[in-house]
Amino acid sequence: MKKLFTLFIFQALVCFCLSAQKPVYLDDTKPIETRIDDLMSRLSLEDKIAIIHAQSKFSSPGVKRLGLPDFWTDDGPHGVRPDVLWDEWEQAGQTNDSCVAFPALTCLAATWNPNLAYRYGRALGEEARYRGKDMILGPGVNIYRTPLNGRNFEYMGEDPYLASVMVAPYIQGLQSTGVAACVKHFALNNHETNRHTTNIILSDRALYEIYLPAFKAAVQQGGAWGVMGAYNLYKNVHNCYNPILVNQILKGEWGYDGVLVSDWGGAHDTHQAIVGGLDMEFGSWTNGLDHGYPNAYDSYYLAQPYKELIQAGKYTTRELDDKVRRVLRLFFRTTLNNHRAQGFMCSDEHYDVALKVAQEGIVLLQNKNNVLPINTAKARRVLVVGENAIKMMTVGGGSSSLKVQHEILPIDGLKSRLAKENITVDYARGYVGDTTGNYNGVTTGQNLVDMRTVQQLIDEAVSKAREADYVVVFGGLNKSMHQDAEDGDRLSYSLPYDQDRLVTALAQVNKNLIFVNISGNAVAMPWKDSVPAIVQGWFIGSEAGKALASVLVGDANPSGKLPFTWYAKLEDCGAHRMGNFPGVKRPDEDVFDIEYQEGLYVGYRGVDKFKTRPLFAFGHGLSYSTFTLTDAKADKKELAATDSITFTVNVTNTGAIAGAETVQLYITDVKSTLERPNKELKAFKKVYLRPGETQAVSITIGRDALSYFDDRQHQWVAEPGDFIARIGTASDAIAANLRFKLK
């Protein structure tokens, strides 16, 4: 017994000594900043240089001798991109990287439901954890300035407030799993043409009021651990190391403590990268494999060239140490976090999240004569028309392209649902668009080739439409170049592939015509008045067919609201009405200057300013039920500087089925020193009501909702005076106007 006791004491002493010798950076009971201090003292110059740049297409190295794992990023923001080869964009051929495709962020924004945004982010984070990813390259919050932007489908619409409210919970949900968000593309990345060489010119007011708020919310409310710099230039400096955007605003005014990551290939200069605030460099187009350093990644601007400048005494380690501290902070939040959530993929819960986001985001734009929902008691034959009914949309579009476990096509979803009612579903191609189906080695496996002429396709569809009870056209755009796709903008506002001819012909032979627009952008609709029902179907991922069918037959009551203005014609958009889109090339320079001459007047702000009439207004979206807003009132008439004011309105479901309505609050400054838009969204709340039910919806705002950015003083100003709170269900559907005063 004495020997056993002695052995126990010896083991206890050994454990005590080992724990006493445990490096501080490995002790997760210590504050992160204390652990960073300890790690900084252990890192060599080579270690510090290594962790601030990539070692492969999507990873950066840790520090092996100190037990710091490699750091792995992956594209989002709608699902976890399939693994690619170490040094190439082509997929690696893994068998365990098929994912759930969640709806594109335009659809998420159209839900106007922050709770769904959190669930979306959480589910995406769990999929990323299963795949061993530490950072998802998303979400995107660039403003919808023009409907020609090929990448709008990845963003959250035209309004800075809506995008701010929706992005914060997405980030919180994602990062609750221990996976970092990387909010992109900071900033002013509002079109794709000449995206590497476009210099943006705009006022400070437009910058602060329109283009920065969602990024600020991502950082200060969402707590984002990563921000990605954009390709374009601002004030003649690339944004991945723009001293105004990165050092002054992001890290200075906003107090951001995370990392600024370059977009892939967004760095172009070592000096600017050093002093301009770039923390992690990825994807630079160096060619060290053929000349120079033996490892291409050593050729990065923040790699061997940076190290040699420090060794030569051209720079101290002051800037480097700040970058390294930020990267270590990121490590402690992710790879060195021992309490990260469990990861898993393709769960029933994830598919449920994808389905619910899709159902709540689908927007019923028009429904004359209550053509929708499809009357399954009377219909016996439904004709489906259009390539987008049969084309997979999860593959393509750029870096958000996915390899999915499954994607329910619109025609399959509708067939499955209508089969329960013994309704026959027929199909006519209608038009032929892009019949390819691959991106970076991921293929759809579909053969969509059809050699018939445009007229033959239209004739077949018209012939079948004459015999159908309903005709559902799945048209719109796709994820091919010059449609909804990265690295290129749309060349026209019109629908491609002669779809206007097709829809016009079908409208002449069937009065129950439904057009479902699959896209991330608005499109011209010259046939709008002759088509009774129009639905915005977005790119909605794995559960697309199921979600669309549920809305079309009325199993789900649509409640989506447009996150952007749907212009009648392109010239009604301020960027095209006043601007020089997509920029003017400088003589003898590969730089395109584009001036945002419309300033603050983006989207519905421009509609009010220029007195145009959109096809569908910002915030618009119908339901199969009806709602009324009554008895609007404010809790006070005057608002002190530190006060808040609460507006209350009764919302009643006056229809026969349960549904949801979104109360929107816009603010008008009656008189201000600087010109302001006629109204600006400052709050909203979505409410779910049973038939006949009434709820009192309360919305509270403070002084910040009344402020504008005074670029002469470089500060936010809320001027005393009269304001009007406009309460409604869309930017053009105001039910009440309440006047109040800021003292």
Interacting residues of 442 by C-beta distance below 8 A, sequence separation 6+: 82, 91, 395, 401, 402, 403
Assign 3-class secondary structure to 364-420: EEEEHHHCCCCCCCCCCEEEEECHHHCCCCCCCCCCCCCCECCCCCHHHHHHHHHHC
Picking from 385, 476, 462, 469, the residue whose alpha carbon sits closest to that of residue 430 is 385
Domain 24-84+96-333 top-level CATH class: alpha beta
Assign 3-class secondary structure to 674-728: CCCCCCEEEEEEEEEECCCCEEEEEEEEEHHHHCEEECCCCEEECCCEEEEEEEE
Assign 3-class secondary structure to 435-492: CCCEECCEECCCCCCCCCCHHHHHHHHHHHHCCCCEEEEEEECCCCCCCCCCCCCCCC
Local structure of 199: helix, strand or coil: strand
Give mean pLDDT, residues 582-602. 96
Query: Sorting pLDDT into bands at 50, 70 and 90, what band is 89?
Result: confident
In the chain, which segments carry CATH 2.60.40.10?
626-742
Q: Is the pLDDT of residue 17 over 80?
A: no
- 29: tokens are 């009971």
Q: What is the pLDDT of residue 41?
A: 97
Write down the residue that tokens 């206890």 correspond to. 12
Q: What is the pLDDT of residues 359-382, one digit of tens each?
A: 999 999 999 999 999 999 999 999
Q: What is the pLDDT of residues 24-53, one digit of tens each?
A: 999 999 999 999 999 999 999 999 999 999
Q: What is the pLDDT of residue 19?
A: 46
**pLDDT > 70: what percent of the chain?**
96
Q: What is the pLDDT of residues 194-205, one digit of tens each?
A: 999 999 999 999
In the chain, which segments carry CATH 3.40.50.1700?
354-564
Q: Is the pLDDT of residue 290 over 80?
A: no
Cα gap 255→248, rounded to integer Å: 10
Between the CA of residue 4 and those of 8, 17, 309, 498, what are the distances in Å?
6, 20, 61, 88
**Greater confidence, 88 or 92?**
92
Query: Sorting pLDDT into bands at 50, 70 and 90, what band is 13?
Result: very low
In the chain, which segments carry CATH 3.20.20.300?
24-84+96-333
CA angle 171, 106, 684 (to 5 degrees): 75
> Is 650:601 a contact under the CB 8 Å cutoff?
no
Q: What is the pLDDT of residue 488?
A: 96
Cα gap 282→535, rounded to integer Å: 40
| Range 626-742 has CATH code 2.70.98.40 | no
DSSP β-ladder status, 237-238 and 233-234: antiparallel
Q: What is the pLDDT of residues 112-155, one digit of tens each?
A: 999 999 999 999 999 999 999 999 999 999 999 999 999 999 99
Query: Sorting pLDDT into bands at 50, 70 and 90, what band is 22?
Result: confident
Q: What is the pLDDT of residue 120?
A: 98
Compute φ and ψ for 543, nearest 5 degrees. Answer: -100, 20
Q: Is the pLDDT of residue 617 over 60?
A: yes
Q: What is the pLDDT of residues 59-86, one digit of tens each?
A: 999 999 999 999 999 999 999 999 999 9
Q: What is the pLDDT of residue 294?
A: 65
Q: What is the pLDDT of residue 642?
A: 82
Instruction: Evaluate the CA torsion angle 255, 258, 263, 269 in order and state its sign.
Output: positive
411-390-154-679 Cα dihedral, nearest 10 degrees: -50
Give mean pLDDT, residues 281-306. 79
Mean pLDDT value across the chain = 95
> Is 85:59 a contact under the CB 8 Å cutoff?
no
Q: What is the pLDDT of residue 6?
A: 46
Cα gap 156→135, rounded to integer Å: 20
Q: What is the pLDDT of residue 462?
A: 99
- 323: tokens are 């970058």
Compute φ and ψ for 429, nearest 5 degrees. Answer: -65, -45
Query: Sorting pLDDT into bands at 50, 70 and 90, what band is 8?
Result: very low
Q: What is the pLDDT of residues 180-219, one digit of tens each?
A: 999 999 999 999 999 999 999 999 999 999 999 999 999 9
Q: Is the pLDDT of residue 15 over 60?
A: no
CA angle 190, 192, 193 (to 5 degrees): 120
- 641: tokens are 């500087």
Q: What is the pLDDT of residues 101-119, one digit of tens each?
A: 999 999 999 999 999 999 9
Cα gap 238→231, rounded to integer Å: 7
Q: What is the pLDDT of residue 18?
A: 37
- Burial environment of residue 291 by CB neighbours within 10 A (0 to 12, 13 to 18, 19 or more): exposed
Local structure of 260: helix, strand or coil: strand
Q: Which residues are identified as catalytic?
A: 263
Q: Is the pLDDT of residue 475 over 50?
A: yes
Cα gap 575→191, rounded to integer Å: 11
Q: What is the pLDDT of residue 552?
A: 99
Identity of residue 126: E
> Is 142:303 a contact under the CB 8 Å cutoff?
no
Query: Sorting pLDDT into bands at 50, 70 and 90, what band is 285?
Result: confident
| Range 354-564 has CATH code 3.40.50.1700 | yes
Q: What is the pLDDT of residue 87?
A: 87
Give mean pLDDT, residues 223-242. 98
Q: What is the pLDDT of residues 496-523, one digit of tens each?
A: 999 999 999 999 999 999 999 999 999 9
- Burial environment of residue 95 by CB neighbours within 10 A (0 to 12, 13 to 18, 19 or more): exposed
